[in-house]
Amino acid sequence: MNRQFGVTLLRIFVGLLLCHASAQASWNDVESGTLLVQFDGSEDQWVAPTLASDVELSVSGPIVRAVVRQTFHNPGDEWAEAVYVFPLPETAAVDHMWLEIGERIIEGQIKEKAAAKKIYNAAKRQGKQASLVEQERPNMFTTSVANIPPGESVKVVIEYQHPVDKDGDLYSLRFPMTITPRYIPGTRIDSDKDNAVGQFVPAVADASRVTPPWGLAGKNHNPTRVQVDLQPGFIIDTADSVHHRAQVETLASDRRLIRLEPGAHQANADFVLHWRPLGTENPQAAFFTEQRDGETYSLLMVSPPGDYGAAVPMAREVIYVIDTSGSMGGESIRQAKRALLWALGRLNSEDNFNIIEFNSDTWKLFERAQPATGGNIRKARRFVEQLQARGGTEMLKAIEAALCLDCRATEKLRQVIFLTDGAIGNEGQLLQSIDNRLGDSRLFTVGIGSAPNSYFMRKAAVAGRGHFTYIADVGKVGEAMAQLFAKIEAPLMTNIEVYGGDGERIATSPDPIADLYAGQPLVVMIEGQLPDQLMVSGDRGDETWQQTLNAEDAVARPGVHVLWARNQIEQLMDQRRYSRVPDDRQGYRDEIVRLSLRHHLVSAFTSLVAVDVTPVKPLDAPSSSHTVPTNSPEGTRFGLTRTATPAGLQIQLGLLLLILGVLLWFGGSRRLRRVSVCYQ
């Protein structure tokens, strides 16, 4: 290697280091507390709006009612639009929104999605202040706020409700505070033009709307206060926050006030609250009704007794599927590996098993499921211990491998257990694959991480006739997995129906009612006038379990109609997803719009929009639009890049190696020109 070549290599290396330092310096400027936004093709920068949230959760019996106040402040000297993508519980029914501007309050109106967007955009052009709340996924929403004056704030208030979660004698609610970045699959199409960059075509049409920017790790871009008024309707034994050190105040034996102040946390993990009844206070049935517009809506929650027979041992074929994509980095992959190692120790000699790892690709431990012998278990443990988080989240390949139609031991009960954070954006495609390939398998999902995509994992478990388990506390992985396997090993309760006193079947939502596992409550919604008596029955092996309820015992409770409509919309969305007949799909869409407008709900096809009638921004005043970043989830190793891989480092190393390779190739025979490369 000649001297000139060596000097050139040194210049390139130093240049790359300087560029990297420059990039780091610019990001360090951002870390000082002000988010600067620069748009492509412009040398100007704007100061992005800031966000703070205040959350009030009221638990009344089996219903959670939530009020979320989002305060958008514009610290810059130009008019601004703020766009914020945020999570909510996957069962949330968003039914109200207000825009607060000083002393004025403008109530949001429910409109079809395209019409609401048109109203919002027109108001923005006319200099009016406006807000728009749209659903991207059942657990992901977008708030847009137009024309925030320089130095001032605008507040958006959103209300929603959802049912309490119940598992045995454990009740819980979850308020998500950040979004684990979603992996978007797709294909890259090479350009026909020489030396042109190829185009990436995502498999998800709305990919840009479900992949918001997220801020620097350790920085709180959305200070959030949470308060819970817990009145479950029984004497409370314990009430605990899982991820956060919240203050718990006892107001009465059946009431707690839980507070989480914004200065006590980073708003980077889901707020999860658990509570248990005292002794025998755990109710076996809860029955609520609401009258609205001449219709009766009912919510029925029945808890079958927990001691109805011992589990019947069954030979099983268990397929463990573990997500090792980049979004699982840090604490999430450690949780998943620990859970999987624990599960392997529970297999018995009559079981067959296999392990499937997936990230950008999919690998099987064995070509086909193998007996759970000592040697195979040791091989599996070695396989699990070397797993590392890396790459993308190509989950479709893993589902196809786990639910393959020609690799099943038909004489065994087949169970597929997915351990993942569900950080994907192509939920519809995956749910369709599960529906097509499930056969007689059962699919169970285990949520890993501080902010998992619980909508997808719950829906996947329902489609797979299984159960969703969320492991919120890393210290209780073994306990959570033990509870999951207790459910899996317990005989199912199937063919569940609700009848009137005359023996006539009553239509419910969901319909059909899913199988039940040990400790699960039966939760159904009913529309229409109730008979004097209701009877709930189900098959358990050769026996029949049943419970009779009296309509006169039902308690009037506002908001039941909202939960009924939310359940109906979810069923219609499922039917639309699986239908391939255009007229039927349009019919489902029309019915979803009708229900959403009637019950004032945000859905895939309806949005809430609020507009102040008085223009405030001069039409010639400059304005800019900003997407407010979400917080980096706790336990992950994200910081700057928006993908589910360590793309920044890979790009830097790849670029350096590419340049060095080119120089080595041409260095001996051609004169080297001065090369200057800089990237941020």
466-501 per-position pLDDT tens digit = 888 887 666 677 677 777 777 776 666 778 899 988
Higher-scoring residue by pLDDT: 664, 591: 591
Mean pLDDT of 275-286: 78
What lies within 8 Å, CB to CB, of 359 at 6+ separation is: 323, 324, 325, 326, 389, 390, 391, 392, 393, 394
Q: What is the pLDDT of residue 283?
A: 67
Higher-scoring residue by pLDDT: 474, 292: 292
Evaluate if residue 3 carries a pLDDT over 90.
Answer: no
Q: What is the pLDDT of residue 11?
A: 54
Q: What is the mean pLDDT of the chain?
A: 82
Evaluate if residue 647 carries a pLDDT over 60.
Answer: no
**pTM attached to this predicted model:** 0.75
> pLDDT band for position 126 (50/70/90)?
very high
The answer to whether 471 touches 483, Cβ cutoff 8 Å, is no
d(CA 235, CA 143): 38
- Token code pair at residue 285: 């049935």
Q: What is the pLDDT of residue 167?
A: 82
* Residue 522 three-state SS: strand
Mean pLDDT of 383-405: 91
Evaluate if residue 128 carries a pLDDT over 50.
Answer: yes
* Residue 388 three-state SS: coil
Domain with CATH 3.40.50.410 in the chain: 316-489
124-128, 197-201, 310-314, range with the lowest pLDDT: 310-314
Lookup result for tokens 């406006």: 130
> pLDDT band for position 118 (50/70/90)?
very high
- Between the two ends of the chain, the Cα-to-Cα distance in Å is 31
119-123, 244-248, 309-313, 427-431, range with the lowest pLDDT: 309-313
d(CA 564, CA 601): 11
d(CA 638, CA 183): 13
Cα torsion 471, 474, 475, 478 to 10°: value is 50
- Token code pair at residue 605: 């096809």
193-207, 285-299, 459-473, 563-577, range with the lowest pLDDT: 193-207
Evaluate if residue 464 carries a pLDDT over 80.
Answer: yes
The answer to whether domain 316-489 has CATH 3.30.1490.20 is: no
Q: What is the pLDDT of residue 641?
A: 35
181-190, 234-243, 293-302, 569-578, range with the lowest pLDDT: 181-190
Evaluate if residue 338 carries a pLDDT over 90.
Answer: no
- How far out from the chain centre does Cα 122 lie? 32
- Token code pair at residue 433: 């694959």
The answer to whether 304 touches 339, Cβ cutoff 8 Å, is no
Lookup result for tokens 């949005």: 607
Backbone angles phi, psi at 13, to 5 degrees: -60, -45
Q: What is the pLDDT of residue 200?
A: 67
Mean pLDDT of 512-518: 76
- Token code pair at residue 629: 């970043």
> pLDDT band for position 286 (50/70/90)?
confident
Q: Is 500 exposed, middle or buried (0-12, 13-18, 19+ CB in 10 A)?
A: middle
Q: What is the pLDDT of residue 307?
A: 52
Helix (H) or strand (E) holding 556: strand 555-556
Architecture of domain 45-179+213-276+606-628: Sandwich (2.60)
Domain with CATH 2.60.40.1730 in the chain: 45-179+213-276+606-628
The answer to whether 238 touches 169, Cβ cutoff 8 Å, is no
6-15, 87-96, 450-459, 528-537, range with the lowest pLDDT: 6-15
d(CA 275, CA 64): 14
Backbone angles phi, psi at 567, to 5 degrees: -65, -45
Evaluate if residue 61 carries a pLDDT over 50.
Answer: yes
The answer to whether 435 touches 254, Cβ cutoff 8 Å, is no
Q: What is the pLDDT of residue 404?
A: 85
Bridge partners, 664 (sequence order): none
Evaluate if residue 111 carries a pLDDT over 90.
Answer: yes
Evaluate if residue 13 carries a pLDDT over 70.
Answer: no
Helix (H) or strand (E) holding 343: helix 331-344
